[in-house]
Every structure is written in C-alpha cells, then in structure tokens.
Structure 1
Amino acid sequence: MNKTEIVNIFTKKALGLTLVLSAAAMAFAQEKAAVSGIIVNKKNQPVAYASVTFSNKVTKTLSDAVLTDEKGQYSLQLAPGEYEITVEAIDYKKSVISKNITGAGNIGALSIEPEATSTLDGKTQELQGVVITASAAKPYKVELDKKTYDPSQDIVSKGGNLQDVLTNVPSVSVDTDGTVSMRGNSNVKFLINGKPSSLLGIDDGANALQSIPADQIERIEVITNPSSKFEASGTAGILNIILKKDKKIGFNGTVTGTLGYLPRTNLNANLNWRKGNWTWFLNGGGGYQKNESTTKNTTTRKDDINGLDPEAFPFTQYSQQNGKTTRESDTYNVTAGFTHDFNDKTSINFSGMIRSFDTDQTGLNTYNERVYRLPSELNNVVRERNSYGNNKNLATQFDLGFDQKIGDKGQLLSASASYQTNKTDGINQIVQKSFTENVIDPKGNIINNVNTDSKTDTFIGKIDYELPIGDNSKLEAGARYDYNKNTYKYFVDQSNNGQTPFTRYDFTSNTVYSENILGVYAQFKSKIGEKFAYQLGLRSETSKIDVNFQNFDKNGNPANTPEVNKNYTKLFPSVFLSYDLAKNNQILLNYSRRINRPRAFSLIPFMSFDDDRNYFRGNPDLNPTYENSFELGYNYSKKKITFNPTLYFKRSEDEQNRYQYIDKEGAVNTIPFNVGTETNYGLDLNGTYDPFNWWKIMLSADLYGYKNTGTYNLFPDNPKTLNDFSGSGFSYRIRLNNTFKPTKTLSLQIQSFYRAAEKTAMNNRKAMYGIDLGVSQTIWKGNGIIGFNIRDIFNTRKMRNYSDNAQFTRDMEMQWQPRQFALSFTYKFKQGEKIETKPKVKKDINSNTNGDDEQGGSPM
C-alpha cells in the first residue's frame, strides 16, 4: 500500500467524523457577550494563572470561570447581568467584588493583595514549580489497595489504543496475541469506570483492547488484591479503566488524529462543557487499522509406527505449518452523558455508549506433513488452507447513577444501574487443497463455511452507603446484582469438489449461558494512633449459573447433551493493614479471597473449526477456582525517587489449566480441567528515579514462580487415562522507561522490556524482548502536540513456545503484529477553566504520614 492510498483511507474514514465532532464543538461553544480584563497586584504587575469566577446573582446556570494567562489577562463569554467576581491566586488573598455586566467589553484591571508570607513583589517564587509538578506527576501512585497509572506521560502510546497503554502498566503484561496477564496470571477482570462494560465485548480479545483509544483514558487502576467492596471474580486482580470526563468550567476538549503504518488512521475527540450545575461530555472516535500476524508450528508424534493397530491408519506423524493472517478493521465508538447537581448534596448522572467494529480477515496456511497410509506406505502431503472471513460487532451501554449526601458529616448514598448489549456475527470460508507427492488430491477443493452468532445481555444494579464515624473511622456497605445471558450459535457446512454442501453436525452447536450473581458486602476502616490504619471487609456472593447445550447427531437430530446447573453461596473476606514507619515510609499488608468462575466458552463441550490442526473444546464439568492471596508491600517516596516492592503469595484450589493431546490426524486438542492446587509467589518491584529535571526513569520488575500438583483425565469415561500432574517454574519480567525532556516543549521516551523464558503447565515459553520509541513536541503555546512513535523497533516481539510430553513435541512461533510507526497531532481548545484551590482538610485515615497525592489516600 503506497503513501497516497494511506492518505486516501485516512481522508475517507475521518472526514465524516470530523464534521460531526466539529458540529458538536460549535454547539457547545455558543457565543455570548465577550468580556475581558486583567488581574494585577498592588504594583500594577500582572498576576498569571489566577482563577476568576463570575457568579450570576440571579441565574446560577449563567455563572462561569476562567484562568488568566501568563500576562494576567483573561476573556470569556457572559450573559449581561449582576455578577459577584471572585479572584484567587497562589500567595494572594481572595478578593470578591460585585459588578454589573451590561455587554461586551473590557472591564479593566482588578487588583488583589498578597498574603502576609508572600514575597515582597507580590509574586510567588513557587508558582513555576507548582505548574511543573502538576504537569509531570509520578506515572503511578500507591494507595492502600491499588496502584494508579497515569498514561498522560506515556509518549509511545500517543495515538494508540488500550492494548498499547497496558504494555507499560506496572504489574501488567500483554502477549503478542492481546492476552493480558497480571503477575503471570491471565484471569484478569476488566472494568470500565468501575463496572463491566460492553466496550470490551464478550470474548473479543485483542480486538476489544484495540477499540478503546489511548487518548480517551484518564487513568488505569491496578488492583492486584481487591477489597470486599469489589466483586470477587478475577483471581489475577482487577484492571479498572477510567475514561476521561473533564470537570473544568466552560467548554474544553481535545481532538487527536493519527496516521501510521501498518496502515492505521484514527480520529478521536474528548469534549466537555460545564455550565452552572450541569456537566456534559462527549467522547468519540473512529479509525482504520491493519494487522498482519504470522505463525509457525512444527508438531512431531512420538508413537512407534510399527506398533500401531492397522485401524489407526492413515496416521499423521509430522506436520509443519506456516501461516499468515491479515486483518483490516474499522472501529467507531461514541460515549455521551451528563451530570446534574440539583444542589450541594444531590446529583444524578447518565451516559450512553455505542461501539462497533467491522473486521475483514484473510489467511493462508501451508502444511507439509508426513502421513502413513500403512506402516510400509509413507506419503509426503502438502496442504493449503485459505480462509476469508468477516466479523461484525455492535455494543451498546446505558448507565444511570444517583448520589445523595446525608447530613453534614460525610454520609453518602450512591445507587447505579447499567444495561448493556453486545452482538457479534461472523462468517468465515475455509478453502483447502491437498497435494500428495505433487499429485492433486482427487477430492479436489474442500470448502467449509463457518457461521458464528453470539449475543450478550447484561444488567448490573448496585447501591453503596458510606458512614463516617468520628474523625478516623468509616463504615461502608452495599449490594450488587449481576445478570448475564450469553447466546452462542455455531454452524459449519462443507462441500467437496463442488458438490452440494452438507452440514458438519460434529461441529454445529447452540449454547445458552445465563448467570445470576448477588453480592453484599460490609467493610470498616479506621486508625489506631497516628501511624496504624486498617480495613476489614466481608463479601458474600450467591451464584446461580445455568448452561444449556444443543448439538446434533450425524443425521441432524438433536442429541442428548449435558446441562450444567450450579448454585452456591461463598464468603470472601479481605484485610488491609498499613503502618507509617516515618515520613514517606509505609508498610502495607493485605489479604483477600477471590473466585474464578469458568467463562461460557470454557464450558461448551464442542470443538471449533477454524483450524483443523488445533482444536479447542470446553469442559462442562469445570468448577470455579478459589484463591487466597497475601501481599506485603513497602512504599517509599521522596521528591526524586519512589520505591515500591511487594512480596506476594497466592494459593488456589481447583486450579483451571488447559491440557493437550494429539489425535491420529495430527491435530492438537486442548481441553480445560480443574487440576489440584497451584501456588504462586513472587516479588513485584516498581520504582521511579529523576536524576535531573530533564530525565525521568521508571522501572518495573516482577520475579515470580509457581508450583502445580494434581490429577486430570483427558477422557473421563476411561479410568486408564487418569494422569498425575506436577509442575513448577520460575521466571521474571523487566520493563524500563527513560523519558528525556531536552527543552520545555520537546520530550523523548524509550520503553524497553525483557520477559525471561518460562515453563508453564504444558509449554516452555522462550524469552522475548522489545524496544519502543516515542517523541512529543508541543506547539502553539501548549495548545498543539505533535507525536511520533515506533513500536517494536527491532521487530522482536514474537511469542515462541516449545512443548514436549509423552505423545508429541511441538515448536511454535507467533507474531501478532510486526513493527509499526505512527504520527499523531493533538489540539486542545477551551473556553475557560477553573483550578479549584485545595482546601485544608483532615488527613485521610489511610494516607501516609505526609498525606500527599503520590502516596495515596482513601482506599476507594
């Protein structure tokens, strides 16, 4: 694809969305009377970055606020009327005057007096430092039960997506196929703004992660050991993705466009408008992206050919596969909503979301195989397998929330409801040709058509209550109800050499999965003395799961298939302790119990047909996994350095693992089983160091090990196939970021990672490393940002596994996407903004001694 074609794609995909977003911006920014002025001190010198608030004395909704520029000047749009003008600035006394605004014009200079402790000229010597700190905060901060990662400083991910951002989040790793894991465990629970979301689909994997633009992400909360307030699912932990919702007064927003290769075009906008007691927001975007993945597999059976039963032939002993798949995706998403404050104590919020992506996929797989027709008859077979598919996904979500403050001592009642739908339709045609000793197979072409249809309906209702008790304690309680209904339909037909298609009933199936979960919790947090804080919680979850399967016999008649019904109630306690050793030194100890319920596709006992050399089949007898998790952490923070090591230990019961066997055709079959117990342990180390103002370093390392023991049976009806299993391994991951700022407007970032070799339950995974580069240049007085990045500079991000068991050996290499680069441009626009001065409040009972934002605050 040449440069002209790329530009044409970008123009075609982005033009319509640009017009929509521009119209929205114009609607937000309605013109009124233009009012301007200047803020000065007693020496008639301008006061930069002062907050100027115009409060309409008659109609509150006409109020507005603005921030002065570096010359002390400001301008905004106001309706005529009587206003109370409040001026605030660091190191100055608050000034309040009344003024009648009759129309457009300059209202002149307003003078403010310095504080008694201010400098002689009325200027603050700390202002520039405060501004720098605000714009260059630490990339993550540690709280009592979570870490918060700020992607705003992640230059490499500019113009990218959620998958790009996650590759740099401490304690998180992303495989080349989009699989996300925390500390080596892939059972991660994703939340969007604190709740499950249709934005991440049913089982969309990497496609779902790539559908959320990085520019729409405010922060990511990494919760490795969640408290009882959170749902108990997800043994690895929770990743809570907080999307942007600006609270600045007036109209504010950003628009980001990206052009990259492999062809990638994106246009995303975040628009916010706050007027009086109404706040509106609109986040939207869309784009085109091309992926190219490659696979290599070599599978060799260990069976003795001469010792096999003659009925076992034909017999495939060796298979070498080379494949390449190309995916082209169009992705669009829009989220809009509002918050309305009825008064200082009561507010409601509402939002709606729609997301779609359309993916076209083509693939070519070539197989070179050694096939025995009889022990004495060996044939070398070459097969070509071409696939052509399309996958369409549409997701919607509607959220309604209500917050009510009770009394004046901090009581808060919150209620919310969410309704979500997610529908995916897929069509895939697979055309297969076979050549035996360079002679075309008489069967000719074999054409398989695979149709998939899946839908999820979700309802979530929850209520939470907070009750402060004295100055140092708080009681929290609440309830949550989740309902999910998943419908899966899978259909395969086949035609040989142009004959009439016939249904492959051995693959065709229908499944309905429904899940009802009711959870209630209570937790209490308090302090003993000035240094010791604790939080104790207990959660109860009642689960009712029903799975109805339907498949067919060879004549197309419904077959008798198992029905899964599970109904159980379990308790999930949590304990969080913290102790302040000294200023900026804190020890944290916590414990929680978690559950991993089998996902719907892991229970479906029918095979998929996408690859006839790799089959996955679910296990309807699969049970939940329960895990007890312990963490001991230390937190140290100074101006130039932070250090946060965490020791963790996890032990699970009925651990879920995927096990493999090979059939006579040479296909590898994978089935999940509950296998005994698994112990995980490790050291999670995160830290930052700023050697100079222009150089910042962030290090993340995870050293971890596991031990698994138990038994499993690949064929439950045959006791002879019962197998004992034991395995152990140790590995580590290291991620290093260096950010350089040679000038005030130029930033350079180099991200690198190394993942050591690791022995898992069935595979020996080989080492992998990668290096990314990002450059950011600020222009137009900070209103514009030009970004450039290269991901996987040396094209080394490839997953390689080696398997060696009693039946076969297998060597596999997979690359989800080759090296990419992208150029992005971000424009910021604003009508006005207000920086709220930080009030002097009592220190939170769970904060560190210093009480700063780098160390944490309330555990929630």
Structure 2
Amino acid sequence: MIKTEISQNFTRKTLGLTILLSAAAMAFAQEKVSITGKVTDKQNNPVAYASVTYSHPTNKLLSDATLTDENGQYSLQVAPGVYTVGIEAIDFKPFTAAGRQVRGGTVETIMLDPEQSATITPTQNIEGVTITATARPYRVELDKKTYDPSTDVISKGGNLQDVLQNVPSVSVDTDGTVSMRGNSNVRFLINGKPSALLGIDDGANALQSIPADQIERIEVITNPSSKFEASGTAGILNIILKKNKRVGFNGSVTGTVGYLPNTNLNTNLSWRRGNATWFVNGGGGYRENKGENNNYATFDNRGIAQQLLTSNAESENNNEMKNYNATAGLVYDFTDKTSANISISTRSFQGDSEGTVSTAMTYNGIDNSNTSTLYPLQKIRTTLGNNENKALQADFGVDHKIGDKGQNISVSVSLQKNQSEGINDITETRNGAYFRLDETLQNTENSTVIGKVDYELPLGENAKIEAGYRFDRNVNDYDYAVWNEGIVNPDFTSVTNYKEMFNAFYVQFKSRIGEKFAYQLGLRDEISKVDVDFRNLTSQEPAISKSYNNLFPSVFFSYDLAQNNQLLLNYSRRINRPRSWFLVPFNSYNDSDNIFSGNPDLNPSYVNSFELGYSLQKRKITLNPTLYFNHEEDETQMVNLYNFERQRFETKPYNIGNEQRYGLDLNFTYDPISWLKLMGNVDLFGYRSEGEFTYNSLVDGVATPVTLSFNGEGFSTRARLNTTFKVDRTFTMQLQGFFRGGQKTDTSKQDPMYALNFGASKTIWDGNGTFSFNIQDIFNTRNRTFYTFGEGFERKSYMQWMPRQFSLSFTYRFRQGDRVDQPRNKKDINSNAGGEDEMPPM
C-alpha cells in the first residue's frame, strides 16, 4: 500500500514536471517538413532500395534516413535547415550533395552514375563529404534493431515463423518455440501492441497464420526502453504489418503452392485519394505437416529385484491446417495537424490432426522373471483432434500536432476478442485388445481492452521528452472437460476464470551532449493485479489474487567514435509474469503418459539486463557486436518428474532460483563483390543457474515432501549465415545455414542441431512480377534430441516438428501512383496503433 502511494505520487509529480517543461520549451521546438524524391539511373530507370540520408551538419538528432521503394521513390520528414544528402545503391557510385537547403515540399529526381564510371556527376553548386546509410537487411538504432524481410528470398510465400528463422538474434526451435539469445520468454507485439492475431497463447499455429508478404519489418528489441511494456525477459519482437502509402490504387497479390501440401493466396491493396487512404490486407491458405516425437525412458527397479523398467514411446502426428485473415483500415487527415485512423482485423484458423503413440514397456526388455501380468505392455493411443480459433480486433486512433513547435499527442484504443475450441477423441489398445475411449474438450475465450496516450515534446534542437499512459484489461475463461468411456473424469474437468489489469506510466528524456554523445533516460511504473478463480467437479480451489507495483528504469548511451562508428551502452529492468495457464492447478489430459499442470504459487521473475555494443557501418560492411549480461531472479523453469504411483510423467512450472546469462551476440553484413551478399549472426554465450524447489512425491498413496536442487552451467553457441547471390538484376539465389550448439545442466542435456535452406527469386515484367522458389531443411536435419535426468529415471526425447518441404510462389504488383505520399502527421496507422513509433538513430 505504501509502495503504491509512493508510486502514484511519483507519477503525478513526473507528469506535472512534463507539463511544466512543455510550457517552458514551446519556443525551442522544431517543426518538421516533408521531402519526397526519386532516384534513377542515367537511362531514367528507377533504382530500388537505395539508401537516402539527410544528415544535419551540427545536430545528428535532426538527421534521418530511408530506402527507396520499387519505383525508386522515397519520402521522409526533417526539420527545416541545411543538410548533406547522401545516396548509396548497389552497382552505383555514391552520391553526395552538401549544403542542401530544406524548406519543405522538396521534390527532386537524382540520377546515379554506374559503378564503372570514373567520375561522379554532382548537382550544381553542391560540394561536401559523403554521409552513408547503406541499404542493409537490418539497421541498428539506439534501442533496437530493425529487420527488413523484403530481401529474404527463402521466406517468400511463407509465414511469420519462416521469416523469424532469418532474423538476427532470434531462433525458432523445431516445435515452433521462438527464443532470443536462448531465452524463450519473448513478448510478441503487432504494430506495437499485443494482438488477437497472435492467438491466446502466442503459439506456433498463430505464427504460421500471418503471411510473410504482409510483414513490412520486424523490430528486434533485446533491451526495451521504458516506453515499451516491461513484459518479456528475453525482449520484444514487434511485427509491423504493411500499409501502402502510394497515391491512387496500388497493391500486390501473391500465390503459393508447395509440398508438404501447402497453398496460399494473399493480397495487399490500398487506395489513396485526397485526405483519405484505404487499405485491405488479407488472404488464406491450406497446409499439411507431420511430426515425429519419440521418447525412450529407463527407471530404477520398482518392486521386482534386479529388474529395470524401460519405456519406448514412438509417436507420429499428421495435421491439416486452414487459415484466413483480413485487415481493412482507413486513415483520414482532417487538417495538416490532425488525423484519425480505424482498422478492423479478423483471423480464422482450423486444424485437423491425427496422431498415434505406440508405447512398449518391459522389464529388462523381456518378462521371463516378471510375475506381473502387466508386463510386457504394448499400448497404442490414436488421437483424432479438431481445433478452431477465431480472432477479431478493432483499433482506433487519433494523432494531433499541438501548435507549430513539434509537440505531438496520440490516443489509441484496441478492442480484441479471441475464441479457441479443441476436441480430441483418444482410443487406446493394450496388448492388441481394446482398452478405453477418452474424449477431451477445451474451450477458451479471451477479451482484451488496451488504451494508450503518448505525448512528445521537443526541447530545442537536441532534446525531447516523451511521456504516456497505458491501460490493459484481459479476461480469459478456460473450460476443460474429460470423459473416460463416456463418464466425466472429475479430476480433469475444470472451469477457470482469469482476470488481469495493468496500469502503466512512463516518462523518458533523450538528448545530446556535444556532437558525439547521446543519451536516453527512462522510467516506467506498472501497477498490475491478477485474480484467478478455478474449480473442478471435486473441489472449489481457493481463489488467488496477486498484485504487483514495480518500477522499471532504462538507460541508453551512445558515443560516436567516428563517422558511422558508434559505441552503445544500455540497461533495463524487465518482468516475466506467469502466463495465465501456468497458474491453473488442474491437469491436461491429451496424453495420459505426459501430464501438465499449473502452479498457483508461481511468482513473477525479474531480470536486470546490460548490453555494451559497437556499431560500424561502411559501404561494404556493417558490424554490430554486443556483449550482454542478464541476471534473472526467481527464474521459472518447467520441471519434468515421473510419478511412479500413477506411472506417468508430470510437468509443472516452479520458481527455481537465479540464472545468469552472458555472451557475445555478433551481427554482420558483408558485400565483398557486387553480386555477393553475406549476412550472419553468431551468439557465443555462457549460462549458470542455481536453486531448489520442493514437491510432494506419492509413494504408496502417501505424499512425501522432496527437495531437489538445480545447478547448471556451461557454454554454447548459435550461428546463422545467409548468402545471397545476385546472378543479374532480375535473378537472385540465397543459401541459409543454421547451427545450434548443445547445452547441458545437472538435469538435462540437448544435442547440437544444424539445418540448410535454399531460395531463388526471378523478377519479370519490368519488376511487376516475381517468381520465388525455396526449400526448407534440405538435408532433413532440423530436429531436437533432448535428455532428462530425474529422480529415479532417465529419458531421451527426439522431436521433429516438420520434415523437409519446398514451395513455389508468384507475386504480381499493380500500381497507379508514381509518387509516395507521407501522412500529414508524424505517425501512420501502424505506429499510432501501438504508440511506439520508430526513433531516429542518435
């Protein structure tokens, strides 16, 4: 209670200070103006994806950079003044124009000389040095990395999960689990906020339902600032979806076919006329996959002298999935200072699955000395399942520029609804004879309301204050039922209501000291409350209520060692709140040999994260090594135990103790020659964890407390290399290799894994059509082998989520507009929806 009052007083004082500074600094703010232009070659052909930089000679905070689109057009906003313009593109000589006066509404066409030319033809009366912002698949900013998937040939015609496999510092496991630097506690955002499009559980199915062609960029935020929510100890992946800005009617359509059977059809359409911009993104698809999961376990003798129980379970799953998605929106500029936006999104997913688990259990492999009629035991479980998920989301927002000094205020509201229903029929035979029919039903509903207010106040030419408030309310209802031979199983049938509410306030200040040093200081206060009410047919469990009030500071520093040569140092504090189903104590029953249950006593984990990075950007190479250290308190781990009384594995989350992770995360690009591009990521990391937990072990029906200690340390690596071969201007090939080293603790071990992918792309019809072909996992090696060492047992698990597959896609682009228009206000609908727009490099 005292902490809450202190936090509320602090928030009121902070917001009051912001308002006071706003009034004091109006006269020093800078208003930005729009600049549009086009880059061509000497034959007036457009130069696509050229880097365009407007660099202020004395204040880098005012500088900005962008890339040209397929038509060679670009648009950006800067404050009025004198700039140096730099343009770079592959196969062309760099262009430099110093002393360029910007007053607003600037429109020009710049022609580039081919790289073979001996001289550079400058614009008249312009001279100066080159300021480069090389066109790369990703760029480094003060508080994030931004990845552009437009050059990723391998994921063409694929989905978000395919794109993430090529994003620096990100790994996708064989079961679809996404991790950053080895930590799977990743927070996903769509356009800057949680989204119903990702489903209730942010699972692999949701990632597969978002087409790659609808993704504009991915922001990798390993150490988020105070402006972002504090959830996700690994960091944030912010997925920005496309919204076309060209005048007139424009769009593209992409169709894909592949094997394992895979068909998709997606489109992006937009129409801009006058003050209004309409856009529609949508599509659907069908795909099949099949997976394999084998478990081999050995147990200490249990009741029979010198006998060793072994269990060998082999499972195969075949799935058919259909997904449909659509987003429609409108951006309307009422005046030069005020615009509003509205968008509605829907997603539908349906999956049918068939799985077989064959389990052989014996003593010493035979039963010659086994007097029990139970062994040898051959169990076969066949599961027929159906799962449906529907999501609906509506977003509203208003942007308003206050006065003419650069102040902005944005207000947004997001309403989301998600429903998921899964049905499974499980038939089991034992030693060839029918044993039992089990049926399960899971129905989950989620309702979310998110409201945000964000305010920006420039303070002179070098500083800015940002402040805001965010409100989140989530309600989840879980209804789970199990029938054994038509009779309700009271131990597994349960109903749970989960409610969470968050109030968050943030303020951050960024500025420069001199020409080389920039900094950003932030503080976020999150007040959260969680209420869970659960019951099954046998008992009403005590409801739980958890409240947290935490401060999350963030600090970012950058120092310019030389041109395009920076040191970056930052710190932030994060939280990992238990997911809703992690708190529900009732068991899941899809596999009677492997049971999962939540832990109502689970508490949040907190992490302190430090990073020291270096950023080098040259014409042919970019280099971004980052040293990092994370210390996590009350770390949450999944603990796998064997219940000998009930003869099954049971998995449950516990707060184990503390964990430290440290390492070197190196990202680089290198263009040694005009037709060859290399992009790589190497993560060398160490880890150490220690702690203990206590659980109740059932022996002869008696619960006995058992305390287990966890200690693990080691060193491992992950590496990815993406090689792009440009055969000519219209034909590109790409080869991607991935390696993940093994890891080991006292209770587990994971074998190394590697995979190789291939892609090719051919452009036709003057750039209006593109064929793409790719093969995922050429050698069919993408699998996981995992060992678990528990109390009285050892288990080896093998898993392959999806075997080798290939696909062919075709994209057709149609467009009317020759000019790219920037919205009249600073933010477009995507950035406004989340309230967390891009910050220019400092």
TM-score, normalised to structure 1, is 0.80
Deviates more, 1:823-832 or 1:662-671: 662-671
Conserved? CA contact 1:305–1:375, under 8 Å:
no
- Describe the SS at the equivalent of 1:654: strand
1:188-587 maps to which residues of 2 (within 5 A)?
188-203=186-201, 205-306=203-304, 317-370=309-362, 376-377=371-372, 379-435=375-431, 440-441=432-433, 444-495=434-485, 501-553=486-538, 559-587=539-567
Amino acid corresponding to residue 522 of structure 2 in structure 1: G
**Residue of 141, 150, 159 corresponding to 2:148:** 150
Q: Which runs of 5+ in 1 are unaligned?
A: 1-38, 52-66, 73-88, 95-111, 118-122, 128-132, 309-314, 496-500, 554-558, 842-855
Q: 1:111-166 CA distances to partner (integer Å, 9 max, x unpaired)? A: x9999x9xxxxx99589xxxxx9999201000000000000011000000000000
2:696 alignment partner, SS class: coil
Q: CA deviation at 1:658?
A: 1.0
The Cα offsets for residues 391-416 of structure 1, whole Å up to 9 and x where unpaired, read as 01100000001100112121000010
In the alignment, the residues of structure 1 paired with residue 474 and residue 839 of structure 2 have an alpha-carbon distance, to the nearest angstrom, of 34
Residues 134 and 422 of structure 1: CA distance in aligned 2, closer, same or farther (over 3 Å): farther
Q: Is the 8 A contact 1:318 1:666 kept in 2?
A: no
CA contact under 8 A between 1:700 and 1:736: conserved in structure 2?
yes
Q: Is the 8 A contact 1:146 1:859 kept in 2?
A: no
- 2:840 matched residue in structure 1: 858
CA change 1:334–1:823 in 2 (3 A) is same
Q: Offset at 1:722? A: 1.8
CA–CA distance in structure 2, aligned partners of residues 113 and 661 of structure 1: 68
Distance 1:333 1:697, change over 3 A: same
Q: Residue 76 of structure 2 corresponds to which residue in structure 1?
A: none
CA shift, 1:714, in A, is 1.8
> Who is 1:185 aligned against?
183
Residue 681 of structure 2 corresponds to residue 700 of structure 1: yes
Distance 1:457 1:365 in 2: 36
What whole-Å deviation, never above 9, does each CA across 1:591-641 have from its counterpart, x for those lacking one?
A: 000000000111111111111111111100000001110000000010000
Note if contact 1:548-1:563 (Cα within 8 Å) is conserved in structure 2: yes
**CA distance in 2: counterparts of 1:476 and 1:374, whole angstroms:** 76
Name the count of aligned residue pairs.
723
Structure 1 residues 291-348: Cα deviation after superposition (integer angstroms, max 9, x where no partner): 101111101112453479xxxxxx9932101111111011000001011111111001
1:80 corresponding residue in structure 2:
none
Code of the aligned partner of 2:467: A
What do the CA deviations read for 1:208-239 (whole angstroms, capped 9, x no partner)?
00000000000000000000000010000000
* Percent identity (aligned): 53
Q: Given that residues 281 and 327 in structure 2 are in contact (C-alpha distance below 8 angstroms), is that contact kept between their aligned partners in structure 1?
A: yes
Report if the CA contact (8 A) 1:316-1:666 is conserved. no
Q: Are 2:768 and 1:776 aligned?
A: no
Give, in angstroms, the shift of residue 857 of structure 1. Answer: 5.5
* Residue 759 (str. 1) matches residue 744 (str. 2): yes
CA distance in 2: counterparts of 1:113 and 1:457, whole angstroms: 50
Deviation at residue 463 of structure 1 after TM alignment = 0.2
Q: Contact conserved, 1:643 with 1:688, CA < 8 A, in 2?
A: yes
Query: In the alignment, what sits opposite 1:713?
Result: 694
- Aligned residue number for residue 642 of structure 2: 662
Per-residue deviation, residues 178-208 of structure 1 (Å, max 9, x unmatched):
1000011100000000000011001151100
Q: What do residues 2-45 of structure 1 show as CA deviations (whole Å, max 9, x unaligned)?
A: xxxxxxxxxxxxxxxxxxxxxxxxxxxxxxxxxxxxx9x9xxx9
Q: Does 1:734 align with 2:729?
A: no
Distance 2:406 2:230 in 1: 27
Moved more, 195-204 or 227-236: 195-204
Q: Does 1:625 align with 2:600?
A: no
3-state SS, counterpart of residue 518 of structure 2: strand
1:827 aligns with 2:821: no
Q: How far apart, in 1, do the equivalents of 2:187 and 2:692 lie? A: 27
Partner Cα distance (2:109, 2:541) in 1: 81
What is the aligned partner in structure 2 of residue 590 from structure 1? Answer: 570
Question: Which sits farther off after the overlay, 363-372 or 350-359?
Answer: 363-372
Matches within 5 A, 1:59-98: none
Is contact 1:48–1:68 with CA below 8 Å preserved after alignment?
Answer: no
Structure 1 counterpart of 2:556, one-letter code:
F
Where in structure 2 are the equivalents of 1:670-685 lying within 5 Å?
Answer: 670-685=651-666
Q: Give how far 1:833 is off.
A: 2.7
Distance 2:523 2:96 in 1: 44
Distance between the aligned counterparts of 1:125 and 1:355, measured in 2?
Answer: 52
Aligned partner letter, 2:372: E
Match among 583, 597, 604 for residue 584 of structure 2:
604
RMSD: 3.2
Match of residue 774 from structure 2: 789
- Which residue matches 1:811? 796
1:759 deviates by 1.7
Confirm or deny: 8 A CA contact 2:409 2:454 kept in the other structure.
yes
SS state of the match for residue 376, structure 2? strand
Report the counterpart of residue 596 of structure 2 in structure 1: 616
Task: Return the offset for 1:733.
Answer: 0.3
CA distance in 2, matches of 1:821, 1:426: 29
Q: Retained in 1: the 8 A contact 2:132–2:619?
A: no
Change (3 A) 1:566 1:822: same
Moved over 6 A (4+): 67-70, 112-115, 133-136, 371-375, 716-719, 836-839
Provide the TM-score with structure 2 as the length reference: 0.81
Counterparts in 2 of 1:403 and 1:204: CA distance versus 1, 3 Å = closer
Tell which structure's C-alpha radius of gyration is larger: 1
Q: Distance in 2 between matches of 1:114 and 1:321?
A: 66
CA distance in 2, matches of 1:483, 1:833: 44
Distance 1:142 1:68 in 2: 23
Matches of 1:243 and 1:837, distance apart in 2:
17
Residues 724-761 of structure 1, C-alpha deviations (whole Å, 9 max, x = no match): 22211221100001000011100000000010111257
Equivalent in the alignment of 2:64: none
Partners of 2:292 and 2:739 in 1: CA distance: 21
Asked if structure 2 preserves the Cα contact closer than 8 Å seen for 1:287 and 1:332, the reply is yes
2:135 to 133, 137, 151: 137
Report the Cα offset of residue 49 of structure 1. 5.4
